[in-house]
Structure 1
Amino acid sequence: MLEVNLAKRAPAVFLAEQAGRGPIDIVLQPTMGRLSFRAKEAALEGRSEVSGLAVDGAINTRRENGDLAAMRLGPDEWMFLCDDGEVDNLAERIAEEMSGKAFSLVDVSHRDVTFEVSGAASDAVIASGSPLDLSLEAFPVGMATRTIFAKSDIVLARLSQTTWQVTCWRSFATYVQGYLADAAKDFAVA
């Protein structure tokens, strides 16, 4: 049965809409709908998608379908992204489509904050706090993974050669934004 938490929460932190300007932009993204989806292969029964969201393909990939995006973060774990106003409708459609199967679907929309980091040296700014190889060859466009940034868990996605999404828990957002802004200072025009 689908359980709905009707208590929408206001942001617990106050963040700058843009922390960096110039060669590196760090922009707070608008609130979006996020659903954490877990299902074993047997429950998916060979499906390539659930309610328009890709559930096939390689782990650590991000795939878009119009206003929807699916990030496959593990063998049975996805983060589904949608417009904030559509999260309840999407959750109901997924629950109906997966009815009778073993799965987990949790609305985590208000748990996370996303920053878009862009610019020619955006990979170097993120690498300042990440242990990953962020070269285009090792982390191509369309890749997404859960990792560590400084002392915070994040989900990192590469949207283009010079554009990234950094998603963290709301309680770590001030720290992550500050760390990104501080690292970006090294690339500021003097």
Structure 2
Amino acid sequence: MSNVATFDTRTEAKIPVESPLAYSYRRSGAPAPTGKSRVVLRERPFLGHLILRGGAIVLDEAVREVLGVSLPGEPQGLVQDADGERSIQWLSPDEWLVIVPGGEEFELENRLRAALGDAHFAISNASGGQTLVELEGEAARELLMKSVIYDVHPSHFPVGKGVTTVFAKTTVILRRPAEDRWELVVRRSFADYTYRWLLDAGEEYGIGVER
């Protein structure tokens, strides 16, 4: 068992919390989806984000034991559990992003540390530093074509793939968990910029925001 001190970042005190896009909604508005909306944007805030680093074989055994899901079997892979609520994404040869429902990350981290024992690894809780934005609809890919430098054609970016790429003048983790749904993992400090860019670039598609 690792002797690293851990702490739960979600306090039980009744402190008001706001999503990374709360300011953006107030500043830029949040147009509701209509029948003409070909793209719908929604934020999934307050999820648990853990960064795992270490050897793939050792980590895979622990992750399967604790989460019941294996690490992606190839670079740029994205795997999900049966409910689609928990995912693991390849970031680099020794680095993976785990996203789970909010509130699960602290227990998950402790269980992984217990399962990994004295192995060489690192686990970082990035939950407060980033958020997840979904784009869904028939024009979602067209919107991304205007925004990222990575090739998002279906032949090059199939379902179950995820990459880190340039988005406008920042970077995001871009994922495709379903045929017509894309996800952007965005740093908190760039959330407002990303949101305003998407509203502007998505105007021609009648972009709507679900809150």
Query: TM-score, normalised to structure 2's length?
Result: 0.80
Please list every run of 5 or more consecutive structure 1 residues that lacks an aligned counterpart in the other structure. none
Q: How does 1:1-190 map to 2 (within 5 A)?
A: 1-8=3-10, 10-11=17-18, 14-16=23-25, 18=30, 21=33, 22-41=37-56, 43-44=58-59, 49=64, 51-52=66-67, 53-65=69-81, 66=83, 67-188=85-206
Write out per-residue CA displacement over residues 119-143 of structure 1, whole angstroms, 9 at most, x where no aligned residue: 1110111121211110111000111
Q: 1:182 to 1:90 in 2, by over 3 A?
A: same
What secondary structure does 1:49 align onto? helix
Tell me the TM-score normalized by structure 1.
Answer: 0.88
Does structure 2 retain, via aligned residues, the 8 Å contact 1:19–1:25?
Answer: no
Q: For structure 1, which segment, 170-179 or 58-67, has the greater mean C-alpha deviation from structure 2 after superposition?
A: 58-67
Q: How far did 1:44 drift?
A: 3.9
Deviation by residue 1:158-184 (Cα, 9 ceiling, x = unmatched): 122221011111010000011111111
Q: 1:42 to 1:64 in 2, by over 3 A?
A: closer
Distance 2:165 2:51 in 1: 16
SS in 1 for 2:73: coil
CA distance in 2, matches of 1:144, 1:23: 23
CA distance in 2 between partners of 1:135 and 1:20 (Å): 28
How far apart, CA to CA, are the structure 2 residues paired with 1:134 and 1:45?
Answer: 28
Q: Is the 8 Å Cα contact of residues 78 and 89 (structure 2) preserved in structure 1?
A: yes
In 2, the alpha carbon distance for the partners of 1:37 and 1:133 equals: 27
Q: 1:169 to 1:31 in 2, by over 3 A?
A: same
Which structure exhibits the higher relative contact order, with contacts defined as CA atoms closer than 8 Å and separated by 6 or more residues? 2
- Kindly indicate which of the two structures has a greater share of residues assigned to strand: 1
The one-letter amino acid paired with 1:177 is Y
Tell me if structure 2 keeps the 8 A contact 1:37–1:78.
yes
Moved more, 178-187 or 52-61: 52-61
Q: Secondary structure at the match of 1:172?
A: helix
Distance 1:136 1:102, change over 3 A: same
Structure-2 separation of matches of 1:185 and 1:61 = 31
- Give the distance between the partners of 2:150 and 2:139, measured in 1 at CA: 15
After superposing the two structures, state which structure 1 stretch, 161-170 or 48-57, moved more: 48-57
Instruction: Note the C-alpha offset of 1:15.
Output: 3.4
Gaps of 5+ in 2: 12-16
Q: Give, in angstroms, the shift of residue 8 of structure 1.
A: 4.6
Does the Cα contact within 8 Å between 1:18 and 1:26 map onto a contact in 2?
no
- Deviation for aligned residue 1:20: 6.3
How big is each residue's C-alpha offset from its partner over 1:61-100, in whole Å with a ceiling of 9 and x where there is no partner?
1111243211111111100111111111101111011111
